[in-house]
Structure 1
Amino acid sequence: MKNAAPSPVRDPREDSAPTAPLPRGDLSWAAVAIVTAALGLFASISLVVEKWAILEDPLHVTSCDFNAALSCGTVIRSAQANLFAFPNPFIGLVGYTLVIVLAVGVLAGARYRAWFWQGLLAGLALGEVFLIWLWTQATFEINALCLYCMLVWLMHPILLLATAARCVRTGALPAPPGLRATTRLWAPAVVVLIWLVVFGSVLVRFSGSLFGA
């Protein structure tokens, strides 16, 4: 009687190996998400640190207090900075940390279902609406700018539109074929449009303070 052939030894790494290639562009989305979310997280942490210092010392001068126009302290002390009865940067701490975790997961080969991407996109869109409201308050009501806030104003549209483009391109968000094929055109264009509106109004509103005109 012949001895049975020994069964091949299974490599335990196969249990966690990807079962399908990542959708086209997911790695570039992950890279963009990590960079933009990391900068947003840095700004959020900085604002929390400055808020804590102000609570300890009401006369504390923040690291980005330069003049009446560029004054993080003025913005942090405003009622708008605590809209939900806690400092607004706490939202950034949680949100941007979550995005970084998700992006690292994509780099590791994780797959997320369409509804997951739709939820992420909805959350980022709500965040952009909130940031636009904060921009209007800082520019036209508080009459002061916060450099850390402006860093978030700069980064968040990139993250939002990169995610929207990814969802459209992969079909997670239903869209016409023409829109799906031109994500590399309209996504950066919308980002630039948001920047022009936000920072253009800031330059016009604070031109005298910023440039001594």
Structure 2
Amino acid sequence: MSEQRTRPVVYAVWLIIAGIVGWFAAFQLTIEKFALLENPEAALACDVSPFIQCSKNLESWQGEVFGFPNPLLGLTGWMAPIVIGVALLAGARFPRWFWAAFGAGITFAFGFVCWLIGQSLYDLFVLCPWCMVTWAVTIPTFFATMLHLTRNGTFTRSEKVRARAEKLLPWVPLATILAYALIILLAQLQGLDFLGEMAKLLF
């Protein structure tokens, strides 16, 4: 169970997949942002409908909370899961402080995504397709990382707790589906017309 005894192959592969998908989404959003900077009236490829579009998100203050476009966070941040995933597959072993720092970064990403979801549903009233791709991989990555950091001893030395985390890992997909369902439910309660389109994009 300990990371020192076994390589977390499934988790490592997921980090690589999530990192690539998340980075690609951030790359696409960056391209769209450049297009808007060149021509504010440009029709973006991700502008599917009044309710499913990138333009409004990219042009809003929420789209550059830290003073620069949010996609730049993704371009840099998603490299970490890719590198760590590859390193784990190669047999790398990281100290506890390293995993704690990585967990803090993933937690920040998850919290930021939750905030952006709230802003999209209750303030902007639109959903950005590439943003949703980012949400779709950030949520399970957070769940899987928290359980992995529990089972590898980063959060606790208790063998019993670590064993429980190991048993819970196979339930990450179900937890992720429930999280997606919650987002759809919140959209329905908000009375947004794009509920059907959102469900198609998420599932």
Bucket of the pairwise TM-score, normalised by the shorter protein: 0.7 to 0.9
2:11 is aligned, of 23, 29, 36, to 29
Distance 1:161 1:189 in 2: 11
Q: Summarize the alignment of residues 41-190 of structure 1 with structure 2, pairs less than 5 Å apart.
A: 41-174=23-156, 177-178=160-161, 179-184=164-169, 187-190=172-175
Distance 2:128 2:55 in 1: 8
Give the deviation of 1:210 after TM superposition: 5.0
Aligned partners of 1:47 and 1:148 also within 8 Å: yes
Aligned partners of 1:69 and 1:210 also within 8 Å: no
Distance 2:121 2:157 in 1: 35
Structure 1 stretches of at least 4 aligned residues deviating more than 6 Å after TM superposition: none
Counterpart amino acid of residue 106 in structure 1: L
Give the deviation of 1:98 after TM superposition: 1.7
Aligned partners of 2:147 and 2:166 also within 8 Å: no
Identity of aligned residues (%): 29
Distance 2:5 2:187 in 1: 39
Counterpart amino acid of residue 182 in structure 1: K
Distance 1:37 1:200 in 2: 27
Tell me the SS of whatever aligns to 2:102.
helix
1:202 is aligned, of 187, 191, 201, to 187
Q: TM-score, normalised by structure 2?
A: 0.85
Pair member with larger Rg = 1
Aligned partners of 1:22 and 1:109 also within 8 Å: no
What does residue 200 of structure 2 align with?
Answer: none
Change (3 A) 1:210 1:197: closer
Give the deviation of 1:186 after TM superposition: 5.1
Distance 1:24 1:186 in 2: 20
Could you give the per-residue CA deviations for residues 71-97 of structure 1, whole angstroms, max 9, x where no partner exists? 111111111101011001111111101
Distance 1:145 1:133 in 2: 13
Aligned partners of 1:69 and 1:206 also within 8 Å: no
Give the deviation of 1:175 after TM superposition: 6.7
Give the deviation of 1:208 after TM superposition: 2.5
Aligned partners of 2:121 and 2:190 also within 8 Å: yes
Counterpart amino acid of residue 111 in structure 1: R
The answer for unaligned runs of 5 or more in structure 1 is 1-20
Aligned partners of 1:128 and 1:156 also within 8 Å: yes
Give the deviation of 1:66 after TM superposition: 1.6
Deviating more after overlay: 113-122 vs 40-49: 113-122
Aligned partners of 2:19 and 2:81 also within 8 Å: yes
Give the deviation of 1:36 after TM superposition: 1.0
Aligned partners of 1:64 and 1:72 also within 8 Å: yes
Q: TM-score, normalised by structure 1?
A: 0.82
Give the deviation of 1:67 after TM superposition: 1.3
What does residue 201 of structure 2 align with?
Answer: none
The answer for unaligned runs of 5 or more in structure 2 is 198-203
